[in-house]
Amino acid sequence: MIDQAALEQFDEHGYVVVRDVLDWDLDLVPVYDEYSALLNQLSDGWINEGRLSSSYSELPFTERIIKVVTEARRPYDQAFDISLPQAEVQYDTPIHNGQATFNLLKSPRLLDAVEKFIGPEIYSNPVQHTRMKLPESLLPDEARTGLTAQIAWHQDLGVILPEADKMDILTVWFPMTDANEENGCLAVVPGSHKQWLHTHCRSANELVLNQVCIPDKHVGENRVPLPMKSGDVLFMHRCTRHAGLENKSDRVRWSFDLRYQRIGEPTGRPWFPGFVARSQKSPESVLTSVEEWAQRWREARAILAANGTNVSFNRWTNNEPICA
């Protein structure tokens, strides 16, 4: 699956899309089931609060999420996400660290592929998200966040700390629903990884919620959308310029983005916990317990809730000359 040509495409262009890496029944269906249960919990809460008339449980998950969120008009992204936000972490900030999701991060099919890029000593970097994007025309303002709306042009190295600049942190992005130009697939500037890290500024565009991004005129002209089907996986260099396009369709677009690197290196988010996903040298160090994974995140959350305002995940000040 990942042959020499795929590795050359990655080196040359800074990304490669590999078809059918994940198995629908083994990798993705359990995650759909786990998120359906999570949506049940959210819906029950909103019904109790009088915000929602029905849990719409007869609908398939991807239709139900739209129905429920547009009626309840509540944020839902953090309850689904598998990481904490970069600011304002509270003792009760929700996070999802479920068994099926943990299995997905450790999927042998995924790790076999990752191994081709970084070798067999594999650490799951804590920069990891799930993004369930409603059609932007339907997305209530209350639910519009960096995880539910379009994502402006950036490099993944731009959103972690310089401690990890020299580390080969591999971005691994895949859709749970098919993604295309209409519902907001990823887009990349091929070869842009060779230009290393560009300065990022805070966007003034409300649609991208003041995200840290590369100002549009510096992005580069050759912007290539990457339509993908569920099961396909994008492997991307940490300096490749990319964006998450707007969801202009009437369907939800759901994806996971994960990061993997070699064991023993700084992650760029020192306050967040990662774990050993695979190791030939010390197989006993591989994390096998989802409870332990969840516990590490709860501990990080408690520390951040106590000291939150003293930590920074961001290297940019927005006073850089090109940001003016």
Ligand X SMILES: O=C(O)CCC(=O)C(=O)O
**Which residues are at the interface with ligand X (CB under 6 A)?**
131, 151, 156, 171, 173, 186, 242, 244, 255, 257
Is 150 within 8 Å of 246 (Cβ atoms)? yes
Residues forming the site for Fe ion (CB under 5 A): 156
Return the number of the residue (187 or 287) whose C-beta is nearest ligand X.
187
Find the residue with minimal CB distance to ligand X. 244
CA pair distance 311, 324, nearest whole angstrom: 25
- Residue with Cβ nearer ligand X (46 or 175): 175
Residue number, 64 or 242, with CB nearest to Fe ion: 242
Q: Report the alpha-carbon distance of residue 169 to residue 262 in Å, rounded.
A: 8
We find the least distance from the C-beta atom of residue 59 to Fe ion, in angstroms, to be 31
Give the CA count within 13 Å in the CB-facing half-sphere of 317.
Answer: 3
Q: How far apart are CA 60 and CA 111, in angstroms?
A: 30
Residue 131 interacting partner from Fe ion, ligand X, none (CB closer than 5 to 8 Å by kind): ligand X
Compare residues 243 and 276 and give the one whose CB is closer to ligand X. Answer: 243
* Residue 76: CB minimum distance to ligand X, A: 16
**Residue 254: contacted member of Fe ion, ligand X, none (CB under 5 to 8 Å, by partner type):** none
We find the least distance from the C-beta atom of residue 171 to ligand X, in angstroms, to be 5
Binding site partner of 255, from ligand X, Fe ion, none, Cβ cut-off 5-8 A by kind: ligand X
Least Å from the CB of residue 54 to ligand X? 30
Q: How far does CA 269 lie from the centroid of its chain? A: 14
125 binds, among Fe ion, ligand X, none (CB under 5 to 8 A by kind): none
258 touches which of Fe ion, ligand X, none (CB within 5 to 8 A by kind)? none
Least distance to ligand X, CB of residue 29, Å: 21
Nearer to Fe ion, 98 or 244 (CB): 244
Helix (H), strand (E) counts: the chain:
7, 12
Nearer to Fe ion among residue 44 and residue 194 (C-beta): 194
CB 201 within 8 A of CB 321: no
Q: What angle do CA 76, 157, 227 make, to 5 degrees?
A: 60
First to last CA, the chain: 45
Q: How far is the CB of 185 from ligand X (least distance, A)?
A: 8
Beta strands in 176-252 (DSSP E): 186-188, 201-202, 212-213, 224-226, 233-236, 242-244
- Determine the residue with CB nearest Fe ion: 156
In terms of DSSP bridges, do strands 242-244 and 151-154 run parallel, antiparallel, or are they unpaired? antiparallel
